[in-house]
Amino acid sequence: MDILVCIKNVPDTSAEEIEIADDGTDIVRDDLVYTVNEWDNYAVEEAIRIRDRVGGSVSVVTVGSEEDEEALRREIAMGADAGFLLSDPAFEGSDGAGIASILEAFVRKHPVDLVLTGAQADDEAGQVGGMLAARLHLPFASLVNRIDIREDRLTVEREVDGGNVEVVDIALPCVLSIQTGINEPRYVGIRGIRKAAAVHIPVLGAAELEIDPAEVGRRGARVLLESLFVPAQGEGAVMLEGSLGQQVAQLAAALKTQGVIR
């Protein structure tokens, strides 16, 4: 089974505090540490496990710049077989629909049996996986936390509202957005990193993908970011103090006052 995993390089919020730029249209990116989106790591791990069970290959792809090549190498060190960087000045400023169209162009030139994405990465909108599936006219399931393979079909479990699980029978080829917790991503060792450093990463732009630059990037974006801001701190927060027993008593008293418990 040939599997493609779409990944994204994102700021590591555990390494640096994210600040909004003075013009309010972006975050301050100077000196930020970047890492592979957490959801995408789970998707790559799941792809590797499927390949190891049934055979085939795992490729990773990202839309970005030269700096994002390192993210591809990290996933190759993890166990992916190949990586592709989709990079072009025309791609800069693409919204979710633009990213999906760029990925669609790549998949049409590199057909696979299964496409995996992280459940969310695109500014946490969780939209690219579904848009990509729609553009490719393929079945789609989101928030997938279990995959069982049987010949040309998959049985997947996905999270739905209320903590319930929905079981879906889905035909291949298809697109799945992977939820965290589906597995435990493996540790990337020094040997894998050294091996990945020597792997050739093809770079494909608008010309190679036969994309009209007017349809992607800022020129083609249908969603434009107007401003970012930190919400004003609300009133009414109560800090519990004292020992654990005292805090429990304070919480119980507050809940009774609000009529939550009797």
Write out pLDDT tens, residues 132-184.
Answer: 999 999 999 999 999 999 888 999 999 888 888 999 999 999 999 999 999 99
Are 178 and 245 part of one and the same domain?
Answer: no
How high is the pLDDT of residue 138? 98
Q: Which of 114-118, 120-124, 139-143, 152-156 has the lowest mean pLDDT?
A: 120-124
More confident residue, 147 or 224: 147
Task: Let me know whether 30 and 65 are in one domain.
Answer: yes
**Which H/E stretch holds residue 156?**
strand 153-159
Judgement on whether residues 142 and 240 belong to the same structural domain of the protein: no
Q: Name residue, tokens 């779409």.
A: 6
Give yes or no: residues 18 and 50 share one domain. Answer: yes
Co-location of 201 and 80 in the same domain: yes
Quick one: which of 119, 131, 136, 147 has its CA closest to 47?
147
Question: Is 176 found in the same domain as 134?
Answer: yes
Q: With 90 as the cut, is the pLDDT of residue 120 above it? A: no
178 and 257, same domain (yes or no): no
Instruction: Read off the tokens for 224.
Output: 């434009």
**What's the CATH number where 72 sits?**
3.40.50.620
pLDDT value of residue 69? 95
Residues 136 and 6 grouped into a single domain? yes
User: Quick one: which of 108, 118, 18 has its CA closest to 62?
Assistant: 118
Examine the pLDDT at 14 and tell me if it is beyond 80.
no
pLDDT (mean) for 232-243: 80
pLDDT reported for residue 225: 84
230 lies in some domain = no
The verdict on 38 and 168 lying in the same domain is yes
* Structural domain boundaries enclosing 161: 2-220
Considering its fold, how many domains does the chain have in total?
A: 2
Q: Which two tokens stand for residue 95?
A: 């919204």
* Residues 17-44: tens digit of each pLDDT: 888 888 888 888 888 888 899 999 999 9
Q: Tell me: do 37 and 100 sit in the same domain.
A: yes
First and final C-alpha spacing in the chain: 58
Q: 243 and 181: one domain?
A: no
pLDDT reported for residue 122:
63
